[in-house]
Amino acid sequence: MAQVIVVSPEYELETDYLTEFQRTRKIRQNLFYLMDGAESFYTYRGEDFKALKWQDEYAFFAQQPFWQPDRTLAFVSLGCGNAGAEKMLLRQAHAEGYPFAYFGVDSSRTMLRLADRTLADETFTRMFLLADFSTAMLRQTLEELLGIFDARLYVMLGGTFGNFEQPVIAGILQTLLTPGDYLYLDIVPLYGEPERDQALRARLLQLPQNMPLFFTHLLERLCIAPEAGELYGVETPDPDLEAWRYAYFFRAHDAFTFTCFLGDVALKSGESLELLTVRAYEPEALKTFMATYDFEFVTEYIPDVGRLAHLWQRFLFRKVEIGNGK
């Protein structure tokens, strides 16, 4: 396996996440990716990302200022998962002689193992970091590792950004990146056409019905019998950035206690657990929102999604001096 820096041991992460879950009744989305949750994510997510043409994205990347044959680049993937989303880009960049090193950061050791397997045949320099990307420890480690590079690109792919409360994740990125660093985010955009947006909304609201195996598996990972309650989705506008937010809950029929990782959680009759959140964005509002966190919009890439169920949109931002984005 490529070098793994353990910034936070996994048992500590699990304990932290569980304590938070017991307090908030809201599941940190990365709990699902620990242990076998990593494999099942890729099984149930389907083929969406494989349908996007990496060659088009590579052509987009090749035009960006950080991608230069005579400047070293640190390519940091936050929540890298199995690294499948970036593998072909990196392979091509390496083949064309761009000098870069890859840093895959994830809070799931299983995901890092999958990433190592995905990149096993690649010959570029790489390293994995087992860490929660919101921690000061990761920030310090990255500062030490990345200082020698001419440019730094942080990518957050696979819709990860949309799973977090937006001021929280934007604040994490604001703290992690330094002025001059680039940030590449992918999100699901609204169509801006009433009929298609209506269909997207209906689809997202029905996600537990559309992806029953994914949700059943999530419950099983928490040792909750799916028949002990019901799954439902709620749509609420996200006031921070005009995004549509879809949260999925499990409501207990009767009171019961279940063991989640290292501790017990008691649910009252009718009480709900928040399992997952996804978003669909109004792109202009996202740019405005990110500007308030010191991220200046540079350009965007809209992949041809062919027959996929919805669009994807990728934004490139550059971190500016503190307060300049306000």
Ligand X SMILES: C[S@@+](CC[C@H](N)C(=O)[O-])C[C@H]1O[C@@H](n2cnc3c(N)ncnc32)[C@H](O)[C@@H]1O
Residues of this chain that interact with ligand X (CB under 6 A) are 29-30, 33, 79-82, 84-85, 105-108, 111, 132-134, 157-160
Length of the chain: 326
Write down the least CB distance from residue 25 to ligand X, Å: 18
Contact call for residues 77 and 158 (beta carbons, < 8 A)? no
**CB nearer to ligand X: pick between 99 and 167:** 167
| The pair of three-digit structure tokens given for residue 166, joined into one six-digit string | 């937006």
Residue with smaller CB distance to ligand X, 158 or 233: 158
Which of 218, 226, 177 minimizes the C-alpha distance to 74?
177
Q: Cα(9)–Cα(17) distance, rounded to whole angstroms?
A: 13
In angstroms, what is the minimal distance from the CB of 193 to ligand X?
A: 27
| Least Å from the CB of residue 267 to ligand X | 24
| CA distance readout (Å), 228 to 216, 231, 250, 251, 268 | 12, 10, 9, 8, 12
Taking alpha carbons only, the member of 106, 152, 102, 148 closest to residue 127 is: 102
**Minimum distance between the CB of residue 132 and ligand X, rounded to whole angstroms?**
4
Angle at CA of residue 293, ends 291 and 299, nearest 5°: 40
First to last CA, the chain: 43
Task: Pick between residue 48 and residue 197 the one whose CB is nearest to ligand X.
Answer: 48
Pick from 220, 264, 222, 252: nearest CA to 19: 264
- Report yes or no: 9 and 34 within 8 Å, Cβ to Cβ: no
Contacts of 284 by beta carbon, 8 Å cutoff, 6+ apart: none
Instruction: Record the tokens describing residue 242, joined without a space.
Output: 């005009």
Q: Rounded to an integer, what distance in angstroms lies between the CA atom of residue 17 and that of residue 27? A: 8
Q: Are 197 and 191 in contact (CB under 8 A)?
A: yes
By beta-carbon proximity to ligand X, the closer residue of 222 and 267 is 222
Amino acid at 238: D
Q: Which of residues 160 and 277 has its CB atom nearest to ligand X in the complex?
A: 160
Q: What is the closest distance, in whole angstroms, from the C-beta atom of residue 248 to ligand X in the complex?
A: 14
Shortest Cβ distance from residue 214 to ligand X (Å)?
Answer: 12
- Residue number, 100 or 133, with CB nearest to ligand X: 133
Nearer residue to ligand X within complex by CB, 170 or 267 = 170
Q: DSSP string covering 143-180, please?
A: HHHHTT-SEEEEEE-TTGGGGS-HHHHHHHHHHHS-TT
Q: Smallest distance, Å, CB 168 to ligand X? A: 10
Smallest gap, in angstroms, from Cβ of residue 131 to ligand X? 6
Name the minimum Å distance from CB 300 to ligand X.
Answer: 18
Q: What is the DSSP letter of 31?
A: G
**Nearest residue (CB) to ligand X, 188 versus 290:** 188
Identity of the residue, 15 or 288, whose beta carbon is nearer to ligand X in the bound complex = 15
